[in-house]
Amino acid sequence: MPRVRKVAVIYHGLVPEAGVLARRLVQRFRTAAQWTAMDAEAARKAKGLADCELFVTIGGDGTILRAMHIAAPLAVPVLGLNMGRVGFMSEVDAENALDEIEWYLDGNARIEERAMLQVESAALRGGPQHALNDVTIGRGSAPRIVNLRTHINGVHLTNYRSDALVLATATGSTGYSLALGGPVMDPESDDILLKPVAAHMSLQGGFVLPVSTVIEVKFEGPEAGVLSVDGYVDMPLRPGQVVTVRTSPYRARFLRRHSTAEFYASVTRRLGMRQESLPRRRQGRQARA
């Protein structure tokens, strides 16, 4: 890609260090970094970004999710600077950002595209929503299971009696779904992961569904529930309302330095499951000690 000329910076509003780094980036790359906002107010201030060439986020995966809801319809890539705990979607550690970001602005990075989900329901205001991570359909504040009548491409699958049902992208497979014991999917897969939460007398393992799948879930209560998109767009669900989920026409675009294969090493590293190998000389000294 060519040299980036116009950058929007979105930072975590509750992390003071994120705001400090955002200001330092604007000062250092004044000709490129022309638009800055906190993540919670970015959507409200997003008018006039059609000619933006890159979104830089400072925070964790939540900040990236908010930014991607703006960037994906514009087909603008996102570069994540990580200040979070795990940061599966982030590319650069914030402490190294000032030294490394120039390489990305010079157009050296590749663009990695990822699938998103389109969510439609009468419960949503303003039309369909688009999720990068996941869609959750489940109970509200009442601590009781709900009935989720689920159809796959018009065919009745089952009635999940559970706390909730999670529909995740490959990107979202390292989020809520992973905490539920779901599999980790290749980040560039377009498949859809369906995973129940605490299902009673049902298939706990869930399903991996092809990109063309249309999932319809009828929320049958008995009390009001919640429809959650990417964990921060939450809308009440009334008994009888239907949620339809399919692959979104939008694609999430990320700037990457390394190939997709690097993702597999980063998964275990970010989860604390693998320690980096020590340099050979140092290993030898320790062996002799």
Peptide bond into 187 cis (omega under 30): no
Which residues make Cβ contacts (< 8 Å) with residue 81, sequence separation at least 6?
21, 56, 57, 58, 59, 90, 91, 92, 93, 94, 97, 101
Please measure the distance between the N-terminal and C-terminal CA atoms of the chain and give it in whole angstroms: 50
Distance (Å, whole) CA 256 – CA 104:
8
Distance (Å, whole) CA 92 – CA 78:
12
Q: How many CA atoms lie within 13 A of 23 on its CB side?
A: 5
Q: What angle do CA 77, 96, 102 make, to 5 degrees?
A: 50
Count Cβ atoms within 10 A of the Cβ of residue 44 and give its class: 0-12 exposed, 13-18 middle, 19 or more buried.
exposed
The Cβ of residue 97 has, within 10 Å, a number of other Cβ atoms equal to: 21
Q: Name beta bridge partners: 226.
A: 138, 236
Give how far the C-alpha of residue 27 lies from the chain's centroid of Cα atoms, to the nearest Å. 29
Q: Maximum CA pair distance of the chain? A: 70
Q: Mapping DSSP to helix (H, G, I), strand (E, B) and coil, where does residue 114 land?
A: strand
Distance (Å, whole) CA 118 – CA 107:
30
Question: What residues are labeled active site?
Answer: 61
* Lookup result for tokens 């009696």: 161
